């Protein structure tokens, strides 16, 4: 829980950011400009703030979508008009939960690659149901043993079993501290409803839109390392020479199988999305390089996080 002095520092920084927005955006600073311009100027006069080079500050500002954060904090405080704003902010910020984000998209839509980049940037815990299943089976846990009994028969693992694995994983300390990034689940309305019923609720969904022909090209060249679970592509992400000989192609990575999977994906997508009430951010990823798509995703995720902050502060319509 932040101390009073820390909260006062946060307020000062917010005011400084408001001034930064006023200077860089003029009248486009919006509510921060109109509400806090004068108080921000007065606050900045009382202290010295050492700002990093403008390019570094701008990159950080954009990466973390801090305009949304400033808007939520300032507007929330002004709307509520608490007698003790420091106490109000201390309680509001102290109760903000860790991020919970779902990454959705077609098979081979780039979800795994983007999750790796997000983990490096934000330290989220990446949870892939495929990886989770393999881990439980390898550990020979009770859940893994039960899952293995279905898999050896060529049957799908029941949704209830996957949900139970997710609940166990999400209860771990690392997830509680850093938040989760869920990849590859849910795929159907029933799975989404089962998640919500068990209290697994997302702050936002990032949907990567990728054309079917691009998906087909990516999947046919995809190979998996059976020992590590690492996924490579013979053209776009070539494997190291020392592992190439042991790579496997999934039985459902054929052209015919891909067509069936895409039909199922498109059939389930809209009903699946309407099962959730959280914000949905659609990213037109197409065949763009991962480093071009990544900033779009970070902006969407941070927008979802600050929207949640605004809701937790008891306000709406801010972002």
Positions marked active-site: 111, 187, 222, 250, 261
Query: What are the CA-CA distances from residue 195 to residues 102, 162, 198, 272 (Å)?
Result: 12, 10, 5, 12
Q: Of 69, 72, 101, which Cα lies nearest the Cα of 276?
A: 101
What tokens were used for 158? 């029941």
* Beta-bridge partner residues of 103: 183, 206
What tokens were used for 309? 């902050």
Q: Give the N- to C-terminal CA distance of the chain in Å, as an integer.
A: 25
Sequence-ordered list of residues with C-beta below 8 angstroms from that of 19, at least 6 positions apart, any chain: 37, 40, 41, 44
Rounded distance, CA 279 to CA 300, Å? 9
* Beta-bridge partner residues of 127: 182
Query: What are the CA-CA distances from residue 105 to residues 21, 232, 308 (Å)?
Result: 34, 18, 23
Instruction: Tell me how crowded residue 141 is: count the other CB atoms within 10 A of its CB.
Output: 14
**Looking up tokens 């060529």, which residue turns up?**
154
* Beta-bridge partner residues of 125: 180
* Beta-bridge partner residues of 237: 233
Sequence-ordered list of residues with C-beta below 8 angstroms from that of 239, at least 6 positions apart, any chain: 223, 225, 230, 232, 247
Q: Of 318, 308, 310, 313, which Cα lies nearest the Cα of 99?
A: 308
Q: Of 136, 131, 276, which Cα lies nearest the Cα of 195?
A: 276
Instruction: Yes or no: say if 281 and 207 are a contact pair by the CB < 8 Å rule.
Output: yes
């Amino acid at each position: 829980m932040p101390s009073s002095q820390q909260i006062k520092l946060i307020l000062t920084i917010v005011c400084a950011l408001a001034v930064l927005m006023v200077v860089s955006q003029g009248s486009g600073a919006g509510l921060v400009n109109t509400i806090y311009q004068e108080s921000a100027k007065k606050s900045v006069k009382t202290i010295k703030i050492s700002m990093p080079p403008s390019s570094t500050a701008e990159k950080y500002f954009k990466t973390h979508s801090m305009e949304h954060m400033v808007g939520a904090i300032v507007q929330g405080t002004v709307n509520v008009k608490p007698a003790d704003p420091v106490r109000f902010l201390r309680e509001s910020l102290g109760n903000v939960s860790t991020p919970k984000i779902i990454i959705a998209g077609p098979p081979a839509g780039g979800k795994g690659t983007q999750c790796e980049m997000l983990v490096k940037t934000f330290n989220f815990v990446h949870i892939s149901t495929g990886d989770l299943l393999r881990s439980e089976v390898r550990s020979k846990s009770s859940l893994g043993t039960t899952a293995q009994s279905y898999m050896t028969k060529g049957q799908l693992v029941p949704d209830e079993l996957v949900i139970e694995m997710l609940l166990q994983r999400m209860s771990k300390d690392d997830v509680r501290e850093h938040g989760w990034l869920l990849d590859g689940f849910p795929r159907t309305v029933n799975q989404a409803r089962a998640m919500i019923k068990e209290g697994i609720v997302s702050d936002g969904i990032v949907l990567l839109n990728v054309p079917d022909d691009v998906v087909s090209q990516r999947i046919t060249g995809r190979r998996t390392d059976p020992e590590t679970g690492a996924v490579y592509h013979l053209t776009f992400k070539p494997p190291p020479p020392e592992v190439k000989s042991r790579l496997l192609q999934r039985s459902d990575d054929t052209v015919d199988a891909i067509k069936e999977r895409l039909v199922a994906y498109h059939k389930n997508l809209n009903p699946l999305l309407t099962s959730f009430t959280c914000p949905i951010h659609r990213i037109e990823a197409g065949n763009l390089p991962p480093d071009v798509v990544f900033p779009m995703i970070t902006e969407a995720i941070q927008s979802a996080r600050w929207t949640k902050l605004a809701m937790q502060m008891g306000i709406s319509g801010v972002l």
